[in-house]
């Protein structure tokens, strides 16, 4: 597999533990694909998918967002929390 080629659906076979081959798919930023310029704090459904069940902002390696959009996501989540659109903590079990 060539390293320098840019392709959205590039897959790579990596040797895992125990000698098993694992298919690794490069993640693509969902905001870059949608050509989103800015991330709005009022779009709660999108932001909720980027927050864990404990209320923490999920990292780039889990969500697949690029660095630019991850910074915008963090600011939007913090703004939504201050406006009481998102909770600071996760859902509390009863």
Residue 89 lies in a domain: no
58: CATH: 4.10.640.10
Question: Residue 61, class by beta-carbon neighbours within 10 Å (0-12 exposed, 13-18 middle, 19+ buried)?
Answer: exposed
Distance separating alpha carbons of residues 76 and 65, to the nearest angstrom: 14
Q: Identify the pLDDT of residue 84.
A: 94
pLDDT tens digits, 14-71: 666 777 777 777 788 999 999 988 899 999 999 999 999 999 999 999 999 999 999 9
Residue 71 domain flag: yes
Q: Domain range holding 76?
A: 28-82
Q: Do the domain assignments include residue 76?
A: yes
The size of the chain, in residues, is 94
Establish if 33 belongs to a structural domain.
yes
């Amino acid at each position: 597999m060539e390293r320098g080629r840019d392709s959205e659906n590039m897959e790579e076979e990596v040797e895992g533990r125990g000698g098993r081959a694992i298919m690794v798919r490069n993640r693509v930023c969902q905001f870059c694909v949608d050509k989103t310029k800015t991330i709005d704090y009022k779009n709660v459904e999108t932001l909720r998918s980027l927050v864990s069940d404990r209320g923490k902002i999920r990292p780039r390696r889990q969500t697949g967002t690029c660095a630019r959009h991850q910074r915008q996501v963090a600011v939007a989540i913090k703004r939504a929390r201050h406006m009481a659109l998102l909770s600071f903590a996760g859902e509390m079990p009863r």
